[in-house]
Amino acid sequence: METVVSGIRPTGNLHLGNYFGALRNFIQMQNEHNCFFFIADYHSLTTHPTPHDLHGNVKQVLVEYLAAGLDPEKATLYIQSDVPETAELYLFLNMNAYIGELERCTSFKDKIRQQPQNVNAGLLTYPTLMAADIILHKATKVPVGKDQEQHLEMTRQFSNRFNRMYNVEYFPEPQAFNFGQALVKIPGLNGTGKMGKSEGEGNAIFLADEPAAIRKKVMKAVTDAGPTEPNQTKPEVIENIFQLMRVVSAPETVQNFDEQYNNCQIRYGDMKKQLAEDMVAFTAPFRERINELLSDEAYISKVARMGKEKAQASASKTIREVREIIGFKSF
């Protein structure tokens, strides 16, 4: 049995990228492993949310975890800020993290571009906070999408560095993980590559989206003028639409449009209509569960309390041992 840790930032509703990159794996892994899944609310402070938005987004993501099938009896489902041991480990790791390696991190460079008016220290040390989340429970497997690969590499670096520094074999080497083997990157609809909340309007399909919103976004998806030669290689924007279809549609449907593309008879309008309907059908059960759960305050607070208790038990054991290793001993 492996120890599994993963988290999602509460920056709004979860989209299909979050689902296929992470959440789907959480649901499969909870049956076999010792799993800790959390809501990364400390991480979300790098973008300065208002208290009202922060609280609302944490609730929304908690509900969406549950709606997607996460079972709080099987996995430990918790809110990061309910476990302040995370912050203590983050502090320890920061003492052995170097400015150069943090500045070279791709996600930091992206953030500087996205929010040049707010390049705070939390952004720079984002990878040490993420490493703290993971090694706090001594995880060996971390189900994430492809965009988190470098963060996992840095986590291994920090974890090995701690072991070397104190001459212990305390923290394991956590590996990024996906059931489908290779880590996935779900593309967005506006031709910018990755599906994500900060990648522009209309780019992401959310689990909570109404059918009309899904149809509107899909019909607006970026395409090209169409193939001119049989069997030609698909440009990225078209490959993206096919990739989205591969995750929500039946294999025969994908094959059918693939053949149409290859003999230059494809009509993108038809393909998008089909994709929209398959997305509506795929998200329908989530949408219903989300709406039911959102009004069940008693259940939400019970889940949060249970998760906090279980996560704290694991975290406080690690922190006790780490303090001892570092040399903070009681008199």
Catalog residues that contact ligand TYM under the rule CB under 6 A: 5-9, 17-18, 20-22, 40, 43, 130, 133-134, 142, 144-145, 147-148, 151, 184-186, 194-196
Among candidates 124, 260, 110, 264, which has minimal Cα distance to 192? 110
Q: Which is nearer to ligand TYM, 242 or 299 (CB)?
A: 242
- Residue 142 φ/ψ, nearest 5 degrees: -130, 100
111 is catalytic: yes
185 is catalytic: no
Q: Which is nearer to ligand TYM, 7 or 227 (CB)?
A: 7
- Among 111, 138, 141, 217, the one annotated catalytic: 111
> Closest distance between ligand TYM and the C-beta of residue 131, in Å?
8
- Among 59, 138, 141, 194, the one annotated catalytic: 194
- Among 197, 234, 273, 310, the one annotated catalytic: 197
How many other C-beta atoms lie within 10 A of the C-beta of residue 238?
20
> Closest distance between ligand TYM and the C-beta of residue 216, in Å?
20
DSSP 189: S
Q: Which is nearer to ligand TYM, 107 or 163 (CB)?
A: 107
Distance CA 141, CA 29 (A): 10
The set of residues, in sequence order, having a beta carbon less than 8 Å from that of 9 and lying 6+ positions away, is: 39, 40, 41, 43, 44
DSSP 206: B
Distance CA 210, CA 218 (A): 13
Place of tokens 């053949």: 259
Q: Which is nearer to ligand TYM, 40 or 70 (CB)?
A: 40
Among candidates 11, 3, 5, 6, which has minimal Cα distance to 206? 11
User: Measured on CA atoms in the order 67, 73, 78, 82, is the torsion positive or negative?
Assistant: positive
> Closest distance between ligand TYM and the C-beta of residue 36, in Å?
9
Among candidates 74, 151, 325, which has minimal Cα distance to 142? 151
Q: Which is nearer to ligand TYM, 126 or 257 (CB)?
A: 126
Active-site residues, by number, are 111, 194, 197
